[in-house]
Amino acid sequence: MIDEQEFRLRCDEAMAELYQALSKAAEERGFDVDYNNGALTVEFDEPKTKFVVSPNAPVRQIWVSALVKSFRFDWDPKRQAFLLVGSGATLKELMGEVISQHLGETVRL
């Protein structure tokens, strides 16, 4: 497990990169993205839905709540990315997938 200082650094980088990718998609697809106090939210008007991406420092993970599910990401030093526990998907891959499912159209981040 990485130490807390490295986790925070890697997490901040990953969240900022994800925010930029989501902001571009939001302009094209008409949803809202907010990055505030370390948490990132994605909100849709129709149907009214919110996805949340937030760090969980005590366990050194990033957690995503989307589509009535929770997803946990661990830091992988080999790939230099947070990867979904079990599948190995990146944050951007998972968020693209859940947004695509919600909108009913393919969204790549």
- The pLDDT score that the predictor gives to residue 16 is 95
Task: Give domain status of residue 108, yes or no.
Answer: no
pLDDT tens track for 27-60? 999 999 999 989 999 999 878 899 999 999 999 9
pLDDT tens track for 70-94? 999 999 999 999 999 999 999 999 9
Domain of 91 in residue numbering reads as 4-103
Global pTM value: 0.92
The count of domains in the chain is 1
pLDDT band, residue 107 (cuts 50/70/90): very high
Long-range contacts of 93-100 (CB under 8 A, 24+ apart): 94/64, 95/18, 95/21, 95/22, 95/42, 95/51, 95/53, 95/64, 95/66, 96/25, 98/51, 98/64, 98/66, 98/67, 99/25, 99/29, 99/31, 99/42, 99/51
Q: State the CATH number of the domain containing residue 25.
A: 3.30.920.10
Q: Is the per-residue pLDDT at 1 higher than 80?
A: no
